[in-house]
Amino acid sequence: MKNNRATIHDIAKALNIDSSTVSRALNNSPRVSKKTKQRILDKAKEIGYQRNVLASNLRMQKSNSIGVIVPRISRHFFSSVIAGIEEQAYESGYNVIICQSLEQLAREQNITETLLSNRVDGVLISVSMETENYEHLLRLQKNGIPFLFFDRHYEIEGISSVIIDDYKGGFDATEHLILKGCKTIAHLSGPQVLKIYKNRLRGYLDALKKHNIKFKPELVIYSRLMEQDGADSAKKILSLDVEVDAIFAANDISAIGAIKYLKKKSINIPKDVKIVGFSNEPISQVIEPSLTTINQPGFEMGKKATEMLIEKTMNKTSVLDNETVVLRPTLIERASSE
C-alpha cells in the first residue's frame, strides 16, 4: 500500500500558495492573514490532511513524548502512577512511552538507550531493585534530557523526585500496631539500596523507640518483597523463638504472600497476627476487610511528577534544581470483622 497521505505541499498546490505559508497557518502563526488561514484550514479538512508528526519531530529535534520506566506495569501502585502520568501528559499534548524494567538493571539500561535514541523530551523513572549504580541515568542528563524520580529514588545532585513520606508511613504503621496492643512486631523490608525501604525501616525503629519497645534485629526480614518472599518471611517468623503478634510489611505484595501463608497455617488474621502493609487501592481495600494499610497516592504522584517534568522541559533554565516533593501517605483502617 502506497503512502498517499496529504502533505502541506498538497494543500499549498491546491491553493496556489507556498507550503511555508501553509505550515505557518497550521501552526497558527500570527503572520498569516485571517483569510488565507481560513482557506488553508478548510482545504486541510477537505482533503483530510494530517500533520506528519514524524517530520515535525525531526525538524523540531524533539519527540513530544516522555519516557516512563517502572519496574512492572501490572503492579497496581505503578499502574495508578501511570494513569496519573498519562492524564497530565495528555492534557499537555505529550505522548507517553511506558517501559518496564522488570526489576532488572540490564533492562533498565537498555531502555534508557532506547529512550535516548527516541529523543524523548524527558524521563520519569522508578528504579528497579537491582539498580545500584545510575550511570545510565546520568547519560540522560549529559544529553540534556531532564529526568525525575518517583517513588523509588536516589539522591542525585540536581535531580528532583516525587516521593511518598516513607518515614512517616513506617512510623504510623508501626505506632498503629503498638497502640493496638502489639508488642512484638516484625518488619518485612526490602533492599537497603532503595531509600524507600530504608526510610520505612527508620520509621519502624523510631516508633518502637518512642514507645520504649526494645528493637530485636531478628524481627526485620530483608527480601525483594515478592509474594513468595512474603510467604517465606512469614514462615521464618513462625520459626522464631519469640512470638510475633504483628507484621508491618513494606509493600502489599509481600503482605499478601504472608497472609496467604499464615492462613494456610490456620493462623487467624488479624486476631492472632495483625498486619499493616504499604499499599494502595483497590487490593488493600478488600484483601482483608480488617487490614489496615498505608495508602500511597499513586495517581497524584504521577500527575505531580509529570507536571514537574514538563515544566522542566519547557523551561530549560531551571534544569539544575533539586526539588523533592513529598506526598503524604494515609493510614487507612478498615472496620474490624472480628
Nearest-angstrom CA–CA distance, 299 and 87? 9
**Site for its own copies contains 207 (CB under 8 A):** no
Using CB under 7 A as the binding rule, whether residue 64 contacts DNA is answered as no
Pick left, alpha or beta for residue 36 (phi over 0 → left; psi -120 to 50 → alpha; otherwise beta): alpha
Instruction: State the CB neighbour count (10 A cutoff) for residue 289.
Output: 11
Map residue 212 onto helix, strand or coil.
coil
Nearer Cβ to its own copies (168/303): 303
Does 47 bind DNA (CB under 7 A)? Our answer is no
Residue found under cell 523513572: 125
Integer Cα distance of 101 and 110 in angstroms: 9
Nearer to DNA, 40 or 283 (CB): 40
Contact between 16 and DNA by CB under 7 A: the answer reads yes
By CB under 7 A, is residue 55 in contact with DNA? yes
Q: Does 21 bind DNA (CB under 7 A)?
A: yes
> Do residues 205 and 215 make contact, with C-beta atoms less than 8 angstroms apart?
yes
Q: Which is nearer to its own copies, 195 or 304 (CB)?
A: 304
The answer to whether 196 contacts its own copies (rule: CB under 8 A) is no
Rounded to a whole number of angstroms, the minimum distance from the CB of residue 6 to its own copies is 11
Q: What is the smallest separation between the CB atom of 308 and its own copies, expressed in angstroms?
A: 19
User: Which helix (DSSP H) or strand (DSSP E) does residue 187 occupy?
Assistant: strand 185-189
- Whether 234 and 261 have beta carbons less than 8 Å apart is answered as yes
**Least Cβ distance, residue 56 to DNA (angstroms):** 4
Per-residue x/- track, 208-227, its own copies (CB under 8 A): -------------------x
Report helix, strand or coil for 14: helix
Is 54 a binder of its own copies (CB under 8 A)? yes
Told to check if 123 binds its own copies by CB under 8 A, we report: no
Which residues are within 8 A (CB) of 161 and not within 5 positions of it... i.e. 6 or more apart? 148, 149, 150, 153, 155, 324, 325
Start-to-end Cα distance in the chain: 67
Beta-carbon contacts of residue 129 (< 8 Å; ≥ 6 apart): 71, 103, 190, 191, 193, 194, 224
| Identified binder of its own copies from the candidate list 22, 40, 99, 276, rule CB under 8 A | 99
Picked from its own copies, DNA, none, the partner binding residue 259 (CB below 5 to 8 A depending on kind) is: its own copies
If binding is defined by CB under 8 A, does position 151 make contact with its own copies? no
For DNA, the binding residues (CB under 7 A) are 3, 5, 7-9, 16-21, 23-24, 26-27, 30-37, 51-52, 55-56, 58-61
